[in-house]
Each structure stands twice: as C-alpha cells, then as structure tokens.
C-alpha cells in the first residue's frame, strides 16, 4: 500500500457499541428486540418498494425482495414467542408481499414471492 493513501478515521457511528449500550440491551425482553428488528426490516422494505413519499427514486425491488425474505425468516424463527405481536407483524409481512407483487412487472407465481416459503404460519 502506498504511503500517499490516507487512512480514513472512524467516526462514532461506525464504532462498536460501548459496554453501557450492551448492558442496556440486556434489559430488553427478546420479543421487544425481535419486534424492533421487524419494524426496521418492514420500514426498509417499504422504502425499497417505493412506498414512502417521494419514494419512487429509492425503489429497488431486488433489495426489497431480500428485506422481505429476511423479515419472513425472522418471523418464522420467532413465531412461537411473538404472543400478541404475532398478528400485526404477520399483517405487515402480508402487506409488503402484496405491495411487492403489485410493484413487479412480472409477478412471482403464488407461493414463490418473497417470504412465501419462510415457514411462517398465519
């Protein structure tokens, strides 16, 4: 490597969480962590589907597919532990799957769309 290449400095946002952050996470119930992760995945997928205001510029169905698959996988893995959160999270997945199908020029066959093979049971 050349001595002329500057090495970028890490900013605070790219550093690992400090010990106090990890300790705070230790007090959050697992279902809340799963729910927060679900909301993040749903929000990101909605953005990639172009559903946000002025969202057409961010539309990327390939990325949306990945996010919906990840979300469905998370729900499938956690379904026994979701309790009262199960139905709203499932409804969110269904809405994203429908939006994906509507946004696709060539929709997937039924059962073949993103997250439809995840094992999550309604």
How open is the CA angle 70-34-28, to the nearest 5 degrees? 155
Query: Residue 111 region, left (φ>0) first, then alpha (ψ -120 to 50), else beta?
Result: left
Q: What is the largest CA-CA distance in the chain?
A: 58
pLDDT 10s digits, 80-96: 999 999 999 999 999 99
**pLDDT band with cut points at 50, 70 and 90 for residue 53:** confident
2 sits in which H/E element: none
**Tokens coding 1:** 């490597």
Residue-range domain boundaries for the chain: 19-103
What is the pTM (predicted TM-score) of this model? Answer: 0.76
pLDDT band per the 50, 70, 90 thresholds, residue 121: low
Predicted local distance difference test score (pLDDT) of residue 12: 53
């Amino acid at each position: 490597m050349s001595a002329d290449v500057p090495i970028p400095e890490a900013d605070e946002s790219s550093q690992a969480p400090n010990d106090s952050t990890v300790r705070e996470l230790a007090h959050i119930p697992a279902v809340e962590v799963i729910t927060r992760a679900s909301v993040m995945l749903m929000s990101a997928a909605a953005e990639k589907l172009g559903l946000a205001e002025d969202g057409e510029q961010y539309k990327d169905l390939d990325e949306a597919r990945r996010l919906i698959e990840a979300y469905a996988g998370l729900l499938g893995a956690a379904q026994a532990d979701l309790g009262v959160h199960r139905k709203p999270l499932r409804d969110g997945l269904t809405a994203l799957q429908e939006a994906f199908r509507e946004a696709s020029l060539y929709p997937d066959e039924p059962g073949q769309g993103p997250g439809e093979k995840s094992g999550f049971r309604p």
